[in-house]
Amino acid sequence: MEMKIHFPGGKKVYADYGQHTIETDQPVRGGGEDSAPAPFDLFLASMGTCAGIYVLGFCQQRGINTEGMTITQSLEFNPTTRLVGQVNLEINLPEGFPDKYKSAIINAANLCAVKKHLANPPTFNVTAE
């Protein structure tokens, strides 16, 4: 898998991946135009949306209506490191969601590949040519 990262101007950094271009920018307070999410925002969104795709798949396989279902993601920061110390995902179930599936849907969300990668982080090899 390869992604090409390029710099179209200002504080924008784009990533070309397959037929998609993922656009990022910095907020105005960071010197950007706030024209796109910041890279860290995309990282944070990847956690909730990854859990979401597993929750959605779980429901679709069982014919469970997801109308009104949401996931609320909140973060707790470590005051010493100033890094994210805990990610909280609350699956907000719609009315009529079968009680028998509550623990199973939590298990489905925990299958998220982003979460698995954070639990077993890759090594980074940065070079310059």
* Nearby residues of 67 by Cβ (< 8 Å), 6 or more positions away: 94
b (16+ CB within 10 A) / e for 71-96: bebeeeeeeeeeeeeebebebebeee
pTM value? 0.89
Position 91 scores a pLDDT of: 98
Question: Tens digit of pLDDT for each residue in 19-76?
Answer: 999 999 999 999 999 999 999 999 999 999 999 999 999 999 999 999 999 999 999 9
Position 119 scores a pLDDT of: 94
Distance spanning both ends of the chain, measured CA to CA: 20
Contact 93, 71 (CB under 8 A): no
Q: How confident is the model at residue 1 (pLDDT cuts 50, 70, 90)?
A: confident
DSSP symbol at 84 = E
Going by C-alpha positions, the residue among 20, 26, 12, 113 that lies closest to residue 4 is 20
Taking the C-alpha atoms of residue 52 and residue 112, their distance in angstroms, rounded to an integer, is 8
Q: How confident is the model at residue 120 (pLDDT cuts 50, 70, 90)?
A: very high
User: How does the average pLDDT of the chain come out, rounded?
Assistant: 97
The SS3 of residue 37 is coil
User: Has residue 113 got a pLDDT over 90?
Assistant: yes
Q: How confident is the model at residue 109 (pLDDT cuts 50, 70, 90)?
A: very high
